[in-house]
Amino acid sequence: MKEKLYVIKIGGNIIDDEEKLNTFLKSFASLETPLQGPGVKKILVHGGGKLATKLAERLGVEQQVVEGRRITDAETLKIVTMVYAGYINKNIVALLQANHCNAIGLCGADGDAILAHKRQHALIDYGFVGDVDAINTVLLKSLLEQNIAIVFAPITHDQQGQLLNTNADTIAQEVAKAMSREYDVSLIYSFEKSGVLLDAEDDTTVIPEITPVYYQQLKAQQKIFAGMIPKLDNAFAALDSGVKKVIICKAENLEQLTIGSSGTTIIAPAS
């Protein structure tokens, strides 16, 4: 039996709220499983929140948007590298250490952890945005085996000396997929709501489990909020690539979630 590994993505709504972040990091630090106890393996992937935008405003660096898409120009890349890989990443690591969780903060260039290439698009030049090519599972495994939690900032590199701004959801998914060869991986997306809801306005209507068949039914009945569909499509794609479980839930509910009593669990077709 493979050992359990949690890959947990937290978004801007947690990063931007000091109290929520502290509560989340406390739960993350004390995560345990009946089998592995407090030595359970874990990887955290964080997004950026509003701090980079705020810094860009203070520095008078205009955020370019082309056809509704945000562009990462050279100045913006400097800012996200400073904010994501510097300020946010190192503060999260220091707070985990204070909670007795040994953690190491990495960007994709560190130890060649995440190799990416600059996004090519026929119509839009996204600038210094990276799409993921490979995950260095040997490095990640060697750190996890030392009981070190890994904290990823959403910055990758191209092995040619170029850092690249990369979507944190994608990093979480690619890391989860790659690590599935070695571990029994649960991929957890933290979310502002309590899970996937039947009624978007009512936080008590969480759907506890979604199977592929049920997903098709929900879509046919138009019961899934349109914005949720890409997230769920990605979840099923991750399951197809070997990830054991995908859970969508509130970051504040991390503890209940690891015992399966919180959020929405996306389940692979019986194989």
Residues that bind a copy of itself (CB under 8 A): 58-59, 78, 81-87, 89-91, 93-95, 97-98, 102-107, 109-112, 138-139, 142-143, 146, 148, 155, 157, 159-163
- Rounded Cα distance between 68 and 52, Å, is 19
Least distance CB 116 / a copy of itself (angstroms): 11
Query: Closest CB to a copy of itself among 141 and 223?
Result: 141
Residue number, 145 or 202, with CB nearest to a copy of itself: 145
Which of 129, 266 has the CB closer to a copy of itself?
Answer: 129
* Nearer to a copy of itself among residue 5 and residue 107 (C-beta): 107
HSE, side-chain direction, 13 A CA sphere, residue 103: 28
- Cβ proximity to a copy of itself, 89 vs 170, nearer residue: 89
CB of 239 to a copy of itself, least distance (A): 31
**Least gap, CB of 103 to a copy of itself (angstroms):** 8
In the chain, the N- to C-terminal Cα span, in Å, equals: 17
Task: Compute the Cα dihedral for 100, 101, 107, 109 and give only its sign.
Answer: positive
Minimum separation from the CB atom of position 142 to a copy of itself (A): 6
